Amino acid sequence: MFGRRKKSGAAEDAAGEAEQVVDAVDTDDTAGAPRRVNLPPAPRPDGPWDISEVSRPEDGRVDLGGMFVPGVEGMELRVEVAGDAIVAATVVLRDSAVQLQAFAAPKKEGIWGEVREEIASGITQQGGVIDEVEGPLGWELRAQVPVQLPDGTGGVQLVRFVGVDGPRWFLRGVISGQGAVQPEAAGLLEQIVRDTVVVRGEGPMAPRDPIVLKLPNDAQMVPDGVQQEEQEGSRFSGGMGQLQRGPEITEVR
């Protein structure tokens, strides 16, 4: 199912790095504090893929322009907008979801390490709890994000932030629902991340600029308020946008 949501504002950045980046630190002479070093992207033998690495990216995938997202039986696919541009796609599968968003990155440096550090700082400042672990997709953040419940009381939402550095791009995934509560049960969502194809394009882009997506030709409109879903964890996507509800465009696979 395709769903269209609006994004606005900016909070803390959310993203990730290749495996060896987590241990790399440098010293900031002005502050005396260690900081991550942006190392070259690590190999991606199991994906996600650059468009140059896949001969037929449309096979089994939905063409969103800047990304080809794998199609899975029973999934809903929702696109999200910032201004007039579509910049993210969320795959909803039963009681779990993964939001996918691709960004431009420097030619010789990955950005997952420093962005992961930024999102961790942002969530802890909000009173949340962060655990940085090496998961099936490499280093990731498993976060307990403070949220307001429908009855006005405070609660906690579990969210996983995963990321992969590619050639001049970075792909971020935000896993919510049961896939975050029970990470061992998130295999299909993780495979969706691995099998995604990113289309960076050859034009100049500033690092962290979102790679703009497009709607599939056969997308169908769904009335406002139909099959909406909370994505509170996405409040911590930083300069990469804040999700809000909006009209939905739906395709059922």
Annotated domain spans of the chain: 4-250
pLDDT of residue 193: 97
pLDDT digits (tens, 9 = 90+) for 125-184: 999 999 999 999 999 999 999 998 888 898 999 999 999 999 999 999 999 999 999 988
pLDDT digits (tens, 9 = 90+) for 9-45: 333 333 333 333 333 334 344 444 455 567 778 888 8
Instruction: Decide: 177 and 97 in contact? Cβ < 8 Å.
Output: yes
Mean pLDDT of 104-130: 94
pLDDT of residue 119: 96
How far is it between the farthest Cα atoms of the chain?
Answer: 55
Rounded-to-10 torsion of CA 231, 149, 116, 9 = 60
Beta pairing class for 4-7 and 76-82: parallel
Q: Is the dihedral of CA 97, 90, 245, 249 positive or negative?
A: negative
